Amino acid sequence: MKYPLLSVAGVALILLGAGCSSADFSNDLPDSPSEDLQLQTIQEQPQATATTAHTLDLSNRGLTKIPNSVFSQTDLESLNLSGNALEGAPQAEIRHLQKLTSLNLSGNNLTGLPAELGQLAQLQTLDVSNNQLTGLPLELGNLTQLRVLDIRGNTYSAQDLDQIMKKLPNTEVRR
């Protein structure tokens, strides 16, 4: 018998229908009163680590996309999403994180980067190493505060990189 699973902020909720009891599940779950609708909370995975109010570490969580709730945390200065399974390109909503100075997207399965990254005017460090990038958005050239761009372990266009670096002469590129 399958039951709906709802995940909210890193906590999974199993919705149990009428006539179901905890005996229908693992003996590890506590007994629940018989009601038409019951909620049983199960810890899905460790919560994100916030070392300061302005730093969010979501590394090594098995994420395939950036949780939408991250984009509303507009005071973030450092975001670590390394070691996940992010695919495609990060969502364009990343542009809302205007205070970011450090973004770590290394060790994922990203094949592209959104042009909206070029709107993160405070960004100083961008680590996209060890992904599957084949190109770089020219808008990265707008990141005049960028000091480190790590693109190791990717097959990117040298032509794209050359155009970007013409606008960012003070940026260290790790190839």
Residues 105-150 pLDDT 10s: 999 999 999 999 999 999 999 999 999 999 999 999 999 999 999 9
What's the rounded Cα separation, in Å, for the pair 94 and 100? 10
Name 49's bridge partners: 57
Contact 128, 120 (CB under 8 A): no
Give pTM, 2 decimals: 0.72
Q: Which residue has the higher pLDDT, 18 or 110?
A: 110
Mean pLDDT of 47-62: 81
Q: Which residue has the higher pLDDT, 28 or 141?
A: 141
Whether the predicted pLDDT of 48 surpasses 90: no
Name 150's bridge partners: 127, 174
Contact 12, 42 (CB under 8 A): yes
- The reported pLDDT for the residue numbered 53 is 76
Whether the predicted pLDDT of 90 surpasses 60: yes
CATH 3.30.70.580 fits 49-174, yes or no: no
Retrieve residue 130's tokens.
């060890």
Retrieve residue 97's tokens.
């994180």
Q: Where are the domains of the chain?
A: 5-43, 49-174
